[in-house]
Chain A
Amino acid sequence: MPKATELLLLLFTHPNELRALIQYYVWTDNRDLTAPQEVESSGWDRESMRTCWGYLDLTSRSFAVVIKNIQGDLARIICLFYLALRALDTIEDDMTIPVEVKQPLLREFYKHLDEPGWNFTGNGPDEHDREVCVHFDVVIEEFAKLPQPIFDIIRDITRKTGKGMADFCDRVSPGRSFYVETIEEYDLYCHYVAGLVGEGLSRLFAASGNEQEWIADQLELSDSCGLFLQKTNITRDFREDVDQGRFFWPKEIWGKYGFDDITELTKPEKQTKALFALSGMILDALRHSVDSLDYLTMLKNQSVFNFVAIPQVMAIATLALCFMNPDVLKKNVKIRRGITVQLIAKATNPRDVAYVFRDYAREIHAKSLPQDPNYLKFSVACGKIEQWCEHHYPSFISLIAPQSADSQPTMSSTAPGGDPRGLIYQRRLVREAEKQRADLARRVGLDPAKIAQQQGDAAPWWLLAAMLGVTCAMFAVCAGIAFAVIWYMDLM
């Protein structure tokens, strides 16, 4: 919960966000893992699993709530998957571990996942999530309770991630190239630390029976979703990473703007160029936006959808916030909490997610400058999101019901500024009706052609006469009953 003073400030600066926040805290129905009916799948009755849930809260700021809200066993599975990767990440990030120790440790990490009692205490005392490594035996204890196919997926991803992290260790050791040089390398690094998570999740969705089996084989789309998130974080965390001596921005992107060293991007006198380098990073991330939308349309399970979609909408919002924003070069930027809850509320179906993407694409585009060497590329990239939205979820088909009976939703397809696609569907409706009538005629043994003709000429009159007749008959019956009642009463 945010502080009361912050809320008060919000009331004056962004009242809409305050409303969204209040609604979120009042209405959001989070899954209660401790409830008796949930215990079987959440594992809350076991000390070890309770500890794992505790570590999830401890280590992940944003993911904990989203993971817990997944239905059934999958929440627990993904929680454990997350902890395994978090442990790897903690070892990778720890600059106090010498590279000679770190590399084999990362490569061999997956072998310990079914080794009861194993843990790692070699992290530096200040390392953020060292607790998970120190007590990793608890996580291992829970791994033993997972079905074998599920465990195998987690182990496989952990193996590949550990291997990739170990490969890139060479790149951050002093004395060798300190940067990620090319975009290809940058993509590969993001694949190891995030794309593989996407692959693993798709496989877990399929193996747990929550999603269709073929989704496990859609590696490119799964990877692309992961890359989109990772690239957004790398772009946003620029200053923090540079201050800590980590350089994830590939030289192929920022080197074009006359910088020899990445730390020069923080110099105020080079801000204009640095902002164009930043826009280069954002353009590269936007490459994955349409893949991410494609992936989301393949999901069937609502709680899985929310789990995947929430980080994706946060990512596009973050990119829009970072674009042409000099603060990124100076400090950490973050989306306001009020916007976050608004985004969470919208991330429930592919249509709304797509239009959230489109709105942020327009926000990015509105800030784009003709002097930026990527000016037209942004136009094309944002145009792709526009195209995706209109193609998959045409805007002329409105989901909003008419406000009252007399305000019919009309498609002004022929009016200036209207959308002529409506004509195609009007024609389709007419043809479908005709086809139905013809089918009906054929079924009762009449000639469809003749029926159509009769329908055209005689039917309305005939129908009118019949309606008139029925109305008269009903009047007569009513009158008859009334007469009968009166007559009967009089007789009494």
Chain B
Amino acid sequence: MPESYLVIGGSGFLGSHIVDGLLNRGESSVAVFDIVQRVFDDRITFFNGDICNEKQLSDAISRCQASVIIHTATPSPEAPKEILERVNVQGTQTIIAACIANSVPKLVFTSSAGVVFNRNNIVDADERLPFPQSEEAYNKTKQMAEDIVLAANGKDGLATCALRPAGIFGPRDRLMMPSAAQVVTRGQWKIQIGKNDNIFDWTYVDNVVVAHLLACDKLSITEVPIANEDLGVALPQITLTTGFRRIPTSAAKPLGPSPHPDAEELAEQEAYRDPSTQQLRPVLRTKFDALSPTSLAIDYDEGKLPLTVAGNAFFITGGEPVYQWDFFRAIWTALGADINMKKMWHIPKSLGGILASFAETYGWLTGKGTNFTPYRVHYLTAQRWHNIEKSRRVLGYEPVVGVEEGIKRTVAWWLADQAEGVVSEKK
């Protein structure tokens, strides 16, 4: 029997892309639960409701006979604390209760990589990292929600998992692109704070969609964990942006300018063109590696083995972290800025922090507010990238759109969207 999907928060940025992903792969039963309807498509059943209202939720679940629930509803990170708590914590509790009451077998929760972010450097972070004390209400409430979801795994036949995407961007994103466009129109790209040696994860939205669909498919309470022996062969490098080229060897290589190829050479060429003959490489794990035998034996809580989808959290990124200012400069360049690196103002990180404090105080005193805050400075100068090996091995996740292609598509959407806006304003 085909699954019946209910996307909670399906009108949001990520949620609407997940709905597209489900429809694109030919799912026949897709429903959306949200407070507003933004996607209008005949193939979707829309339920209007509040996620803190269990009756409305239960009603929707039973009417669409949901077998998989994807919970992507969350307010903007800049929303007030009360709203964040209400939606992220209470909302999630209500969803769990409704799932159990209606015997829904699967719940996929969109968490956030922010759960481990606390003004630290996030370097090669894997899922073993304990939650830090978080000052940002968004990150804190996401931590609580993730705990609630994973604790419900196995209760009354419900299987749950949490996905933690990092820095989602893409078409229909209303957070990053407006401020990037503002930088270009104001010519603010002439400043660089810090040394720009910090790499940062930005994840194109399609990759996050792929991870969600995989989680829907693999989630099950009777799942067999992947075997430790499978961890011995190295995964291929992610080459979406840099491009994949096979290394020629004496066992597999193209013919080249060989004038009279013999049978052996033809066989080598055939092997070269056949991806399945790609050489297996041993995986090189130190005892600090998240999936090393040492780590598997001691770093995970009892009964919380990391090699299943159910009951686990997964970092989801594009696997191609780039230097933070490069990412923005690539967007600004695509939006038409001609960035002259010789005329760049370099401000050290520490000075940037002090200036931002002044700006914040000034903004507070005058009541004008400011975008230039110490938190922003940290955001621009911190390392923030994650290890997605567990997602790749356990979830079977592979990113599908590289960061360069992602920027191209996002900017193309933005320019088209702006042009449309101008046209409609004129009318």
Chain A interface (Cβ within 8 Å of chain B)? Answer: 160, 164, 167-168, 170-171, 183-185, 187-189, 191, 195-196, 199, 214, 218-224, 227, 283, 287-288, 290-291, 294, 297-298, 362, 365-366, 368-371, 375-377, 379-384, 386-387, 390-397, 413-421, 423-425, 427-428, 431-432, 435
Contacts and interface: CB of A to CB of B under 8 A. Distances in A.
Rank and list the top 3 A-B pairs by shortest CB-CB distance, nearest first. Answer: A219-B249, A379-B322, A379-B326
B249 A195 contact: yes
Contacts of A425: 288
A423 B245 contact: no
Interface in B121-172: 121-125, 128-130, 132-133
Contacts of B129: 420-421, 423-424
Given A184-B245, A419-B123, A377 B257 contact: no
A424 B289 CA distance: 11
A259 B28 CA distance: 53
B282 A170 contact: no
Given A168-B256, A291-B247, A387-B199, A428 B298 contact: yes
B179 interface: no
B257 A171 contact: yes
A371 B419 CA distance: 25
Given A191-B248, A415-B120, 17 more contacts: A220-B249, A224-B247, A287-B245, A297-B284, A371-B338, A376-B327, A377-B241, A380-B403, A382-B323, A383-B320, A383-B322, A386-B321, A391-B387, A418-B120, A419-B121, A421-B124, A423-B129
A357 B322 CA distance: 17
B404 interface: yes
Interface in B242-256: 242, 245, 247-251, 253-254, 256
5 contacts: A365-B326, A370-B333, A379-B327, A395-B123, A420-B132
B20 interface: no
Contacts of B125: 420-421
Interface residues of B, number: 64
Contacts of A222: 249
A189 B255 CA distance: 11
Interface string B374-412: 000010001001010000000000000011100100000
A439 to B, nearest CB: 13
B245 A365 contact: no
A41 to B, nearest CB: 29
Contacts of B279: 218-220
B121 A370 contact: no
B97 interface: no
Contacts of A366: 196
Contact of A219 (B251, B320, B341): B251
Given A196-B250, A287-B245, A416-B119, A380 B339 contact: no
Contacts of A375: 326, 329-330, 333
B276 interface: no
Contact of B323 (A377, A379, A387, A394): A379
Given A294-B281, A375-B333, A424-B129, A380 B124 contact: no
Nearest to A163: B258
Contacts of A383: 199, 320-323, 385
A428 B287 CA distance: 11
Of B122, B281, B289, most A-chain CB atoms within 10 Å: B281
Given A170-B259, A218-B279, A435-B298, A387 B124 contact: yes
Nearest to A181: B257
B286 interface: yes
B237 interface: yes
Given A170-B259, A424-B129, A419 B245 contact: no
Q: What secondary structure prevails in chain A residues at the interface with B?
A: helix
Contacts of A390: 123-124
Contacts of B196: 365-366
A185 B256 CA distance: 6
Given A196-B250, A365-B323, A376 B124 contact: no
Nearest to A381: B242
Interface in B332-358: 332-333, 338-339, 341
Contacts of B245: 183-184, 187, 287
Interface string B286-324: 101100000000110000000000000000000011110
Contact of A387 (B258, B299, B378, B385): B385
Of A164, A287, A383, most B-chain CB atoms within 10 Å: A383
B249 A199 contact: yes
A395 B121 CA distance: 12
B249 A370 contact: no
B217 interface: no
Contacts of B327: 376, 379
A227 B246 CA distance: 12
Contacts of A417: 119-121, 382
Contacts of A386: 199, 321
A251 to B, nearest CB: 14
Contact of A227 (B130, B247, B298, B321): B247
A283 B133 CA distance: 41
A387 B238 CA distance: 12
A298 B282 contact: yes
Contacts of A224: 247
Contacts of B254: 184-185, 188
Of A370, A384, A391, A413, most B-chain CB atoms within 10 Å: A370
B322 A187 contact: no
B116 interface: yes
A419 B197 CA distance: 16
A294 B247 contact: no
B9 to A, nearest CB: 29
B404 A384 contact: no
A376 B247 contact: no
A380 B281 contact: no
A420 B247 contact: no
Contact of A376 (B123, B130, B288, B403): B403
A42 to B, nearest CB: 30
Of A297, A386, A396, A419, most B-chain CB atoms within 10 Å: A386
A214 B280 CA distance: 12
Nearest to B121: A419
Given A383-B321, A384-B237, A187 B247 contact: yes
A395 to B, nearest CB: 7
A413 B333 CA distance: 36
A376 B241 contact: yes
Contacts of A160: 250
A170 to B, nearest CB: 5
Contacts of A394: 123-124, 288
A319 B181 CA distance: 35
Nearest to A286: B242
Of B123, B257, B403, most A-chain CB atoms within 10 Å: B257
A223 B326 contact: no
A55 B288 CA distance: 47
Of A218, A413, A424, A425, most B-chain CB atoms within 10 Å: A424
Nearest to B128: A424
Contacts of B407: 376
Contacts of A427: 130, 299
A232 to B, nearest CB: 16
